[in-house]
Structure 1
Amino acid sequence: MSSAVEQRASQEQVYPEPTVGALIVNPEGKILLAKSHKWFNKYTLPGGHIEVGETMKEAVMREVKEEVGLDVEVVEFLLMQEAVFAEEFWKKKHFIFFDFLCKVGDQEVKLDNDELQDYVWVYPGAAFNRNLDSFTWKTVEKYLQRR
């Protein structure tokens, strides 16, 4: 650890935090990106912590419902990434991200404004024209590689 902040964070956080993320595809083939103040207003994927007693798929469905008001179908696991004190996140945290591909029908997004400030549906290739956090960038890349 190089800084006092990282040392404090590591003392408060005993273990890495496992979290889930959802790359959501609508019937038009567009993906949902959401802007978050926690990522310094970069676009990211809806998601969050896995609660004790729930599976990762259950966590994805719950987090998506809480953050963007959508009922999704979890299709498959896409990618695991590790973020160790990522500077692009507002707190010094150690996360392990488990990102899943999800499908959604024709539903209306209802943002939880405490978590997310804006959203956009874009074709996957056009996502790279947005201000994405680096982890979302890699997840979109992985999605495009598998198509």
Structure 2
Amino acid sequence: MKRVDVVYVLLFDETSEKILMVKNFGDESSYYTLPGGAVEDGETLEEAAIREIKEETGLEIDVRNVFGISEQFFEARGHHVVFFVFTGKITGGKIEIQFPDEIEEVLWMPVEMAETFIPVPLGVKDRIKKNTTVTYLPPENLVH
């Protein structure tokens, strides 16, 4: 099995009632996810998150903390995927689809609906609203 790291970013609107989601074109049907994607060789998780959000939504962000980590085995692809879900803050840009062959729509979705698509255990509405996170330290901030 090949390990694949995937980053997603949880971004709230000004009222904290909606979460930014993307609708992806799929092989069989479209599906919603948080904006994000695979970490490339030589990238930190933070760098990948910033790049993926820009590519998928047109927005610039700061990565804040870790919201959740989960994993899944995709036997058919031979992948062991580890999902890192971060919180972030929009710092610039405007919503526009950069890759229309991959992304069908970028939208603000009510928290109650969005939580069903976030790759962490269901029933985390209270955690989402409270913005419960764990600190993320990129490599340059670690002291050994």
TM-score (norm 2): 0.72
| Aligned equivalents of 2:110, 2:14: Cα separation in 1 | 11
AA matched with 1:46: P
Q: Percent identity?
A: 30
| Aligned equivalents of 1:46, 1:139: Cα separation in 2 | 20
Contact 1:33 1:43 in 2 (8 A): yes
For residue 144 of structure 1, what is the aligned residue in structure 2?
Answer: 129
| Aligned equivalents of 2:124, 2:79: Cα separation in 1 | 23
AA matched with 1:143: I
Q: 1:146 to 1:134 in 2, by over 3 A?
A: closer
TM-score (norm 1): 0.71
Richer in helix (by share):
1
Does 2:106 match 1:119? yes
Q: Which stretch shows the higher mean deviation, 97-106 or 61-70?
A: 97-106
For residue 142 of structure 2, what is the aligned residue in structure 1?
Answer: none
Contact 1:27 1:104 in 2 (8 A): no
Q: 1:45 to 1:134 in 2, by over 3 A?
A: closer
Q: Which stretch shows the higher mean deviation, 105-114 or 50-59?
A: 105-114
For the aligned residue pairs, the C-alpha RMSD in angstroms reads 2.9
Q: Cα deviations across residues 106-145 of structure 1 (Å, max 9, x unaligned)?
A: 64211121221112213323435xxx54626749644235
Richer in strand (by share):
2
